[in-house]
Structure 1
Amino acid sequence: MLKTVIFDMDGVIVDTEPVHHYAYHQQFEQLGITVTPEMYASFTGNSTKNIFQKLKDQFDLPQTVEELVDTKRMLFNDAFDQKEDLTLLEGVHELILDLRAHNIQLVLASSSARVTIHRIFKRFELFPHFSHIVSGEEFPQSKPHPAIFEHAVHLSGDQATECIVIEDSTNGILAAKAAGVFCVGYDSFHSKGQDYTQADVVVQDFKALNYERLAALLA
């Protein structure tokens, strides 16, 4: 029986990837490092802290991880505030309202920093719909490690078998499955180079999802 839906944020609720891409690559240029498209794609689902730990180790960067994260956050916030056309992904607001109308609990489990999550939730007035917010910066290991989803399930007060995760990344899908949670893969045109073969169900449009279909998946 479905009781809780756990949402990823970037690429599922809102497409902030172009903003992240701009901020990261502006910083890579400042640092004088070359990050290949393949390397950048492998970071999907990782926390900013873990991304910069990997970059620091690979490129022997003199800055601390905290300094690198702070710089990226500043670049992101500036770009985010200037991007007036940023919107929720098509159909996701309707899905959120439909699930809440059926008393389904919603939990956010995003690799983004809590300050970034709060900026987006404030901008789009999402706080009233979600009972809990979990940020990847709170965990030493990023997706595909299952810790973030295990914690989200714990906060929900429900069993993993009573939850569904909606994810758009390979790492996120693997993390959900490792946590023992049914996973819906969202393969939209925003997704780049992700593998959805491990997802239990794959959709390309949120119009294909509603309370009845999601509840039937766990029936």
Structure 2
Amino acid sequence: MIKALIFDFDGLVLDTETPEYQTWQSVYAEFGKTLTLENWGQIIGGTAASDFHPLTHLEELTGRSLADFGLESRVRDESMQMILAAKPRPGVLETLETAQRLGLRLAVASSSPHWWVDSHLQRLGIFHYFETVQCSEDVSRTKPEPELFLAAQTKLGVGTHEALVFEDSPNGVLAANRAGIRVVAIPNPVTQHLSFPPANLVLGEMSDLPLEQLLQKLS
């Protein structure tokens, strides 16, 4: 019986990944280069298994130092404008409300830092739904390693067989698999083009299947 839900944040609750990728794509295009999904996909959902960095990669492609162009701060500013205008992905609010009504325990497990995740959860008015928020500072290794999900599961006081993870990235699904926790994959507009490890269920959006039906399907 599923007693707890563990949510990723970036790309799953709020699509923060598409704005950043699109902004870096524009920057690459200005230098006559292309940022592929294969490269970008290495860091989506976790950085523990990758040393890819978009600015370093662009410098390698152009054969020059780009330190004086202020590209990283520009990407941060432009993508943040889009992120601040965004709302939670379809079905997120309804799922949280239903989970609360059903008495399920809720957590967030994100490879991002607390200042980022907590501030957005508060801004969106959904921080109060979660008993615990586990972020990069709380573990020694982020996704695709399982530590974040195991930490969240432990904090919620349930067994791995009693938890269910919602993820949008291959790194996140792999982390859930390694933790031995069932996982629903809900790719975002960027990650839908990537190859995913096996998931217990794949949805286009969280709104595609109401939570009570989803729980019945996975029970």
Report the counterpart of residue 125 of structure 2 in structure 1.
125
Moved more, 207-216 or 85-94: 207-216
Task: Report how far residue 74 of structure 1 moved.
Answer: 9.2
Unpaired runs of 5+ residues, structure 1, are: 61-70
User: TM-score, normalization: structure 2?
Assistant: 0.78
Aligned length: 209
The CA RMSD measured in Å over matched residues stands at 3.4
Measure the CA separation in 2 of the matches of 1:139 and 1:184. Answer: 23
Task: Report how far residue 138 of structure 1 moved.
Answer: 3.2
Moved more, 205-214 or 12-21: 205-214
Residue type at the aligned position of 1:112: S
Moved more, 35-44 or 152-161: 35-44
Task: Decide whether aligned partners of structure 1 residues 54 and 16 sit closer, same or farther in structure 2, where only a CA change above 3 A counts.
Answer: closer
Task: Decide whether aligned partners of structure 1 residues 183 and 83 sit closer, same or farther in structure 2, where only a CA change above 3 A counts.
Answer: closer
Measure the CA separation in 1 of the matches of 2:138 and 2:208. Answer: 33
Measure the CA separation in 2 of the matches of 1:153 and 1:75. Answer: 34
Measure the CA separation in 1 of the matches of 2:23 and 2:80. Answer: 9
Report the counterpart of residue 116 of structure 1 in structure 2.
116
Report the counterpart of residue 42 of structure 1 in structure 2.
42
1:83-141 deviations in Å (ceiling 9; x for gaps): 55311111111111111111111100111121110221121011111111011343332
**1:118 is paired with a residue of what secondary structure?**
helix
1:94 paired to 2:104: no
Task: Report how far residue 54 of structure 1 moved.
Answer: 5.0
Question: Contact between 2:41 and 2:191, CA under 8 Å: does it hold in 1?
Answer: no
Report the counterpart of residue 163 of structure 2 in structure 1.
163
User: TM-score, normalization: structure 1?
Assistant: 0.78
Matches within 5 A, 1:51-70: 55=53
Unpaired runs of 5+ residues, structure 2, are: 61-70
Task: Decide whether aligned partners of structure 1 residues 144 and 204 sit closer, same or farther in structure 2, where only a CA change above 3 A counts.
Answer: same
Question: Contact between 2:153 and 2:163, CA under 8 Å: does it hold in 1?
Answer: yes
Quote the sequence identity (%).
25
Measure the CA separation in 2 of the matches of 1:194 and 1:36. Answer: 11
Measure the CA separation in 2 of the matches of 1:83 and 1:218. Answer: 32
Question: Contact between 1:169 and 1:195, CA under 8 Å: does it hold in 2?
Answer: no
Residue type at the aligned position of 1:42: Q
Matches within 5 A, 1:141-180: 141-180=141-180
Measure the CA separation in 1 of the matches of 2:163 and 2:154. Answer: 11
Question: Contact between 2:174 and 2:197, CA under 8 Å: does it hold in 1?
Answer: no
Task: Decide whether aligned partners of structure 1 residues 23 and 139 sit closer, same or farther in structure 2, where only a CA change above 3 A counts.
Answer: farther
